[in-house]
Amino acid sequence: MKKGFYILLLFTFFQVSGQKTYLKEHYDNGKLKSEGWLNQTQKVDYWLYYFENGNKKEEGHFINNKKCKWWIFYNSKEAISKKCEFENDQLNGFSVFYKNNQIIRVEKYFMGTKSNEWNSLKEFKKDNKLNFL
């Protein structure tokens, strides 16, 4: 009987402690500042951040409070300014920079250190066989 009680207690603890919650933070003016998923105190999954005017500022994935995968960054008018790949909260992969919805530069990073740069899409495509652009 005691063994069953302890198993039930452990199951309940792990079930509650593993639940995610959706958090929304606001500026003093009431506008949304950020929103996304928390697993206990760690940011996980998809998050969105906003400028004080309400426009999107950046969005992307977290694993254990660290940026990962692709992130999109916007200017204050909500136009995309860059898209960057992250791993373990560091730039790792490509960073693609935009102006007027056109690619103007691409940089490549390895764990936070820039390893290459292309100042035109033509140069980049010549050196890289990628289908995402």
Tell me the pLDDT tens digit for each residue of 69-123.
999 999 999 999 999 999 999 999 999 999 999 999 999 999 999 999 999 888 8
Q: Fold for domain 19-127?
A: Outer Surface Protein A; domain 3 (3.90.930)
Q: How big is the chain by its Cα radius of gyration, in Å? A: 20
Domain ranges of the chain: 19-127
pLDDT at residue 94, as a whole number: 95
Q: What is the pTM assigned to this prediction?
A: 0.81
Contacts of 65 (CB under 8 A, 6+ apart): 41, 42, 43, 44
Does pLDDT of 64 surpass 90? yes
Contacts of 18 (CB under 8 A, 6+ apart): 39
Residue count of the chain, please give it.
Answer: 133
Specify the DSSP class assigned to residue 131: S
Q: How confident is the model at residue 129 (pLDDT cuts 50, 70, 90)?
A: confident
Reduced to 3 states, what is the DSSP secondary structure of residue 44?
strand
Question: Which residue did the predictor score with more confidence, 91 or 8?
Answer: 91
Q: Which helix (H) or strand (E) holds 39?
A: strand 32-39
Mean pLDDT (whole number) for 48-67:
97
Query: What does the alpha-carbon distance between residue 68 and residue 111 come to, in Å, rounded to a whole number?
Result: 11
The answer to whether the Cα torsion of 28, 31, 35, 39 is positive or negative is: positive
